[in-house]
Chains A and B, each alone.
Chain A
Amino acid sequence: MPADDDDAHEWLDADAGPLVRSYAVTGGRARPGASTFDLLTYVVATPAGQRRHAVRLQPEHRAVLALAQEPISVAELSSRAGFALGVVRVLLADLFDEGAVTRMAPAVAPGHIPDDHILQAVILGLRHA
């Protein structure tokens, strides 16, 4: 038996229930494959996704799609859907593969500091809003 089998099943005892429940809607998948959805990645339904009756979906997928009719960050989507972040990522990856949602290009590349005029606007906004 490969050594990693032992590690993989260590937690499969009577206490494993909540884990199984949380990820049941994802078919047990905990990672969304090659597609990545950072907390602040914005997603939005595609025209196909807006006609979501045309897409074969579980209720959880439909809930995510309904929240993504306008651009929304993955973090907010998780909060409003009430699904754990890992679950939302798997559902989004499914919808992405179906062509029902798309990722929007970020206004600032990840890891880059925004232009100074944006930071100045933020400072003024924080002080006067």
Chain B
Amino acid sequence: MRDERARSIPTAIKILVAGGFGAGKTTMVGNVSEILPLHTEEVLTSAGTDSDDLSGVEAKRTTTVTMDFGRITIGDSAVLYLFGTPGQDRFWFLWDELAIGALGAVVLADTRRLADSFPSIDYFERRGIPFVVAVNCFHGHQPFGVDAVRGALSLDPEVPVVMCDVRDRRSGREVLVTLIEHVRAITLGPAHTAVAGTS
């Protein structure tokens, strides 16, 4: 007979990937993950007939919201779970469940629609959840610099802002590294965060 108590499970780390509709959340989750994107869904019972911007579902009283997530296994010790947040405002209540116990968040920003990332930034600031802003460079270049984006979003100086291309696995994973370094800097203080073999 196998003994359940003798088995160990990896440290499960939850990271949220937020941002406005079309900012690249699903693309990033899919590209950095080791397996095809997983999804879970929840059935909504609220009416909300006038605020739904998906075409074709206006008349329904129930709908299903899908949450994409991915997984990255780090040896035997840890598993990262990346959850894309629902993009529509009416699904904010789902964010609260996703945010519980989250290590931190990535806010994807599209400079053509920078204001779309305001609600995500407000959400994480209010709840004290560490986050980084990743500017998705859809076409391989970005006309605005990091400082311009930081100013436009009125970010605190310690919040990292990085450029990325969510279609690229390495770029997406480097965004996650930036987030974890940010969490370590908050936890340990910036003077104690050098990782051997990097930086």
**A contact set with B: CB distance below 8 Å:** 10-11, 13, 15-16, 18-19, 22-23, 38-40, 42, 44, 46-47, 50, 71, 73, 75-76, 78-80, 84-86, 88, 102, 104, 106-108, 110-111, 113-114, 116, 118-127, 129
Contacts and interface: CB of A to CB of B under 8 A. Distances in A.
Interface residues on B, range: 35 or more
Interface of B: 1-2, 4, 7-14, 38-43, 45, 47, 59-64, 69, 71-72, 74-75, 77-78, 80-81, 83, 97-98, 100-101, 103, 173-174, 176-177, 180-181, 183-184, 187-188, 195-198
B55 to A, nearest CB: 17
A84 B45 CA distance: 13
B158 to A, nearest CB: 17
A108 B62 contact: no
A118 to B, nearest CB: 5
18 contacts: A11-B61, A18-B63, A22-B64, A38-B100, A75-B83, A80-B38, A104-B7, A113-B187, A116-B188, A119-B183, A120-B195, A122-B74, A122-B180, A123-B195, A123-B198, A126-B72, A126-B177, A127-B198
